[in-house]
Structure 1
Amino acid sequence: MTGPSGRDVLRRAVKGQRRDVALGSLLGAGHQAGEALVPVLIGVVIDQAVARDDAGALLRWLAILAVVYVGLSFSFRFGARAGERAAEQAGHTLRVELVRRVLDPGGGAENGRLPGALTTIATEDAKRVGAVNMALMFGISASAGLLVGTVVLLRTSVPLGLTVLLGTPVLLWLGHLLSKPLEHRSEAEQERAAHASGVAADLVAGLRVLKGIGAESAAVARYRRTSRRSLAATLRAARAQSLQSGMVLALTGGFIAVVALVGGRLAAQGDISLGQLVSAVGLALFLLGPLETFSWVNAEFAQGRASAARIAGVLATPPAVTAGGGRLRQPVRGQVRLRGVSHGGLREVDLDVAPGELIGVAATDPADATALLRCLSRQADPDAGVVELDGVPMRDLDPADIRMAVLVAEHDADLFEGTLRENVTAAPGSADPERAMAAAGADEVARTLPEGLDTAVSERGRSLSGGQRQRVALARALAADRPVLVVHDPTTAVDAVTESRVATGIREIRRGRTTILVTTSPALLAVADRVALLDGGRVVDTAPHADLVRRHAAYRTAVLA
């Protein structure tokens, strides 16, 4: 199944706000028509009141002119409001759609993209596509003003009207040609800006690590290079936009000068009156506004098309895993079985986990542990073999159903901005946060904080230490109370006493629930019913922790060294 194209994204953004766009266009057309009538009415005032020295006619026409001004003023006010509403709502709809795609259980949208790049697409690009509604409304309004002006000019003088009718399409065509370089350079600008944002987000997230290894200068140099490339792309796009605007403005000015010249010659020959000449010159000056609007609309559409293509690229990204036709048995017993699983560094892994069992998995290669976690969470399907949950291949299940049955708590899990309590109970169906926090040793964290469970936690938990973040993240996983829990190295940043307490707490709170501890912590492995040794990508032995220590030097090196 193919995803939407850039044109599809643009079309949907406009179609979804068609009522506001239509209302804004109608009111905008009324505003532009009123603006076009102003020089016409001034010409009438000159011919019928000033030239005839008729005070009564002067007052009547001035009153009519005032009514027109009031009407065009209110039309602009409410028309612009409808256009802004359409732009903001379209941008919001796109942001929601992008977030839904990124958070889809099937995954895949994040592949090959930095988090900062996705953020830029969901903010700046969505805003630019939404702004196309405003540009469309102004374009229709400007067309109405141009049409009214042309009709009046034709009624005043056929040569003047024909000059406008023949010159305007040529001017619009040239403006469209000039917008092409801007579209390409705008897309490059957004790509570079997104990459720079992604690099910056990664550097900020890893700031403590960078300081710890003394790599600040290398990180700054990397960001400086990326930022300079982004700046260069932005300057190229700005130059293209200024060139387009300047060229269109020059062409428009020349066109208006031709209209004024033709009108002046007609007046000199007596073919039109003084008032009609004033109206013609006023209309020629008025037409500068709609024609400049067309230039702006072209630029907005060029940038909108570039942003729509980037949004379409995310929405069209195929999921990493797809939903099958199988159904998960209810209630979930928690039996996990791997048969001949090969993925990444894993080679024909066989492993049976009985319902309610607490099993440890010690991998001599961290990459093998990561590959195992990806298969158990179904972030990816194995290259060969099958992973089963209660006898049903995970490949046949909906990833969303798997997430409600199996929780994989990764080592680098982030906390969210909010209170400590909100972080622990973040997962759907979470209950009894106090018991989960006690099991994870996070109750000590709450006691050291000024407001306990109601203490505010900053973004990604940066207000907490590494060990505190780990314990709160583990408490969140335990509070979720899933039938199957997979935990990856949850105690690497805590002391030995706390680690022993956490090991006991996990065993107690998960009694009767299937739990897989992927770790090399001897304290955690010691409380497991049995431990599977994953060496060279294969499960070479399964036995209690003490037995593996006696049997395998590779196990002793991985766990005790």
Structure 2
Amino acid sequence: MQIQDLPYPDPGVPDARSGPRFLWWLGRNQLGGQLKSLAWGLLHFVSVSSLPFCVGLAVQAVVDRSGGRLALTGVLMVICGIGIAVGDTFLHRAAVTNWITAAARVQQLLARKAALLGSGLTRRVAAGEVVAVSTGDVEKIGWFVEAASRFTAAALTVVVVCVGLLVYQPALGVVVAVGLPVLALAVLPLLPRATRRADAQREKAGRATELASDTVAGLRVLRGIGGEELFLDRYRRASQEVRHAAVRSARMWALISAIQVLLPGLLLIAVVWHGVHLARQGRIEVGELVTVYSAVMVLTYPLRHFEEIAMAYSFSRPSAQRAARVLSLERTTDAGGSRAADAPTGDLHDPATGLLAPAGRLTAVVCGDPDAAGRLAERLGGHPAEPGPSVLLGGVPLDELPLDSARTAVLVQDKDPVLLSGTLRDLLDVPASADVRAEAALAAAQCGDVLDALVQGALDAGDPLDARITERGRSLSGGQRQRLALARSLITDPEVLVLDEPTSAVDSHTEARIAQGVRELRTGRTTVVFTSSPLLLDRADRVALVHEGEVVAVGVHRELVRSEPRYRAVVTRETEDEAAAPGTRHGRAAPRGPLDDEAGPRGPLEEIEESA
């Protein structure tokens, strides 16, 4: 696999049983790139390690006054130089390719898993951890995968040089052959402690990052309650903990690096001392002493890769463990599907709760527990949080449909939709039936003032669709973001559209217009709206009350307000005792304050119904 061939047609099925198994699986799936890197690494390291032998031969040729051997040695040094240059160039190329392709494979696997799990991913794994795995952890995993082949080449070179020294000069070769394994293994006892300190640093850094992202996301609220300094102090303390942990980790790695410098120096001293002693006895030639001395000096270069592989594994192992934990997550239902890819049509029915949304009708669902409403909305879209009977669309279980077909048939917009940065045209460029134009969707979602605000914020945008939206739409109010997300959902024009509190952040007048616009635009299509707003409920063809996990009442809004105390308690914000009291003036809604800078107070239910 070359970089220009990315992305992978199929990244494969990972072995996610553990971090080391995942790393091993990655290495096996890049065997061609690993062997290529190993071959170029051997050429480079062997060429570097051959130079001492050439130097020793040259010195001995000068001592023996042999011009022919000196010229031959010069030719050999030129060949070694070419091997060093060629090997280093293509080793770097192969190593970078292995790094990038390994990281790309992991990112594709994570993206595929995120697409498979949908919103269920963030319910089972913290969003900060998902971001950490897909960014920093991917780089560390790629580092170890590409470093493994270079380490193997360095280790083989060390073995070849030791064998060569034993054959070339046994008396000094034994000292080198015994000393080098000691150098390579001397730092092993320190690695567990270094790994623990590195893990502690990453854990503290992760907590600090989550705290920072949460603070930034809630900055508007923090300013409103005067909590900026409090959270800033918390982040200061967290960042100082990260700094202290980083210093402790750096001290350990500095100690390991110092040992890697000290021990080769001691070995070099031992070789020189023993070699000089042998030379004075006449047991070795001067050229042989120079050769062994130079070989020990040069071997410190491949030996540095022993330290690098130890660091790479220490940093990549927890990263691979986190990636494996995410990749091991499975949907609560089968995503492969056993039926044809064509999406069915018809009524949407949930056997678990008894909820029925007739085809082509606008159905409103009232649920006293917002979290339960969110779980039910996800369930209707084929993303159940826990195992259970499958939702039926036209009598066909969504579990038996291929995941792409199920998502094409049923679209769920949750209560906190995300707007990606880019132009408004990019935001609305989504897979759609082409039956709903962008202008119609924006009008139904009452986005006129949003378009004006975007154009005013981007002076170079003549067309509102060319106006840019900042990251997550932070420059817009909550109601504006909500309406743009609703327009995006309307453009897709799915067979079934499930909306979870689509107007919770807009004022009453805008909400009334949105209710009418959605009803008109979705005529003939199945729409399910989770809401407790009387304005939306009054526009619905059918209203279902879900209580304690099952549908307990079905009807139209005005009938349920008069006849169902539990429904009235949710919609009017009364307690069930007040709603059921004989003297209670049924149908009176408690006023709701503004939810953002757009929202206004809501009046009594009679006034709302009159305005509707």
Same fold (TM over 0.5): yes
Partner residue of 1:557? 572
CA shift, 1:220, in A, is: 2.6
Partner residue of 1:420? 424
Secondary structure of 1:129 counterpart = helix
Secondary structure of 1:270 counterpart = coil
> In the alignment, does 2:14 pair up with 1:10?
no
Please tell me whether the aligned partners of residues 337 and 351 of structure 1 are also in contact (alpha carbons under 8 angstroms).
yes
- Residues in 2 aligned to 1:470 and 1:221: alpha-carbon distance in whole angstroms: 32
Identify the match of residue 129 of structure 1 among 121, 141, 153: 141
Q: Which amino acid aligns with 1:474?
A: L
CA shift, 1:36, in A, is: 1.8
CA shift, 1:281, in A, is: 1.2
Partner residue of 1:442? 447
Identify the match of residue 43 of structure 1 among 56, 80, 84: 56
Please tell me whether the aligned partners of residues 326 and 397 of structure 1 are also in contact (alpha carbons under 8 angstroms).
yes
Please tell me whether the aligned partners of residues 35 and 72 of structure 1 are also in contact (alpha carbons under 8 angstroms).
yes
Secondary structure of 1:10 counterpart = helix
Q: Which amino acid aligns with 1:560?
A: A
- Residues in 2 aligned to 1:46 and 1:324: alpha-carbon distance in whole angstroms: 71
- Residues in 1 aligned to 2:164 and 2:548: alpha-carbon distance in whole angstroms: 85
Q: Which has the higher contact order (CA 8 A, sep 6+)?
A: 1
CA shift, 1:173, in A, is: 3.0
Identify the match of residue 510 of structure 2 among 498, 501, 511: 498
Q: Which moved more, 1:467-476 or 1:228-237?
A: 228-237
Secondary structure of 2:498 counterpart = strand
- Residues in 1 aligned to 2:120 and 2:299: alpha-carbon distance in whole angstroms: 50
- Residues in 2 aligned to 1:335 and 1:534: alpha-carbon distance in whole angstroms: 18
Identify the match of residue 376 of structure 1 among 374, 377, 380: 380
Q: Deviations over 1:417-441 (max 9, x none)?
A: 1211221233455652222111111
Aligned residues: 552
Partner residue of 1:299? 311
Q: Deviations over 1:272-305 (max 9, x none)?
A: 1111111121112112222232222222223223
- Distance change >3 Å, CA 19–CA 329, structure 1 → 2: closer
> In the alignment, does 2:483 pair up with 1:454?
no
Q: Which amino acid aligns with 1:196?
A: A
Q: Which moved more, 1:528-537 or 1:4-13?
A: 528-537
Partner residue of 1:345? none
Name structure 2 gaps, 5 residues minimum.
1-12, 456-460, 574-587, 591-612
Q: Deviations over 1:302-352 (max 9, x none)?
A: 32233222221221223344348664895532412234x3xxxxxxx4332
- Residues in 2 aligned to 1:219 and 1:407: alpha-carbon distance in whole angstroms: 37
User: Superposition pairs for residues 262-277 of structure 1, below 5 Å?
Assistant: 262-277=274-289
User: Superposition pairs for residues 127-276 of structure 1, below 5 Å?
Assistant: 127-276=139-288
Partner residue of 2:576? none
CA shift, 1:17, in A, is: 2.7
Please tell me whether the aligned partners of residues 377 and 406 of structure 1 are also in contact (alpha carbons under 8 angstroms).
yes
Q: Which amino acid aligns with 2:19?
A: G
Identify the match of residue 402 of structure 1 among 389, 402, 406: 406
Q: Which amino acid aligns with 1:356?
A: G
Secondary structure of 1:355 counterpart = coil
Q: TM-score, normalised by structure 1?
A: 0.89
Q: Which moved more, 1:244-253 or 1:458-467?
A: 244-253
- Residues in 1 aligned to 2:305 and 2:204: alpha-carbon distance in whole angstroms: 29
Secondary structure of 2:499 counterpart = strand
Identify the match of residue 33 of structure 1 among 46, 70, 84: 46
Identify the match of residue 292 of structure 2 among 268, 272, 280: 280
Please tell me whether the aligned partners of residues 120 and 197 of structure 1 are also in contact (alpha carbons under 8 angstroms).
no
- Distance change >3 Å, CA 203–CA 113, structure 1 → 2: farther
- Residues in 2 aligned to 1:203 and 1:252: alpha-carbon distance in whole angstroms: 50
Q: Which moved more, 1:364-373 or 1:452-461?
A: 364-373
Q: Which moved more, 1:518-527 or 1:312-321?
A: 312-321
Secondary structure of 1:449 counterpart = helix
Please tell me whether the aligned partners of residues 27 and 145 of structure 2 are also in contact (alpha carbons under 8 angstroms).
yes
CA shift, 1:91, in A, is: 1.3
Q: Which moved more, 1:167-176 or 1:483-492?
A: 167-176
- Distance change >3 Å, CA 537–CA 510, structure 1 → 2: same
- Residues in 1 aligned to 2:32 and 2:548: alpha-carbon distance in whole angstroms: 63
Please tell me whether the aligned partners of residues 445 and 468 of structure 1 are also in contact (alpha carbons under 8 angstroms).
yes
Q: Which moved more, 1:327-336 or 1:83-92?
A: 327-336
- Residues in 1 aligned to 2:386 and 2:296: alpha-carbon distance in whole angstroms: 70
Please tell me whether the aligned partners of residues 30 and 75 of structure 1 are also in contact (alpha carbons under 8 angstroms).
yes
- Residues in 1 aligned to 2:549 and 2:150: alpha-carbon distance in whole angstroms: 62
Name structure 1 gaps, 5 residues minimum.
342-348
Q: Which moved more, 1:463-472 or 1:444-453?
A: 444-453
Q: Which amino acid aligns with 2:545?
A: L
- Residues in 2 aligned to 1:87 and 1:375: alpha-carbon distance in whole angstroms: 39
Q: Which amino acid aligns with 1:425?
A: D
Identify the match of residue 393 of structure 2 among 389, 396, 417: 389
> In the alignment, does 2:94 pair up with 1:82?
yes
Q: Which moved more, 1:457-466 or 1:550-559?
A: 550-559
- Residues in 1 aligned to 2:526 and 2:286: alpha-carbon distance in whole angstroms: 94
Identify the match of residue 119 of structure 1 among 86, 108, 131: 131
Q: Which moved more, 1:119-128 or 1:548-557?
A: 548-557
Partner residue of 1:521? 533
Residue identity over aligned pairs, in percent, reads: 34
CA shift, 1:482, in A, is: 1.0
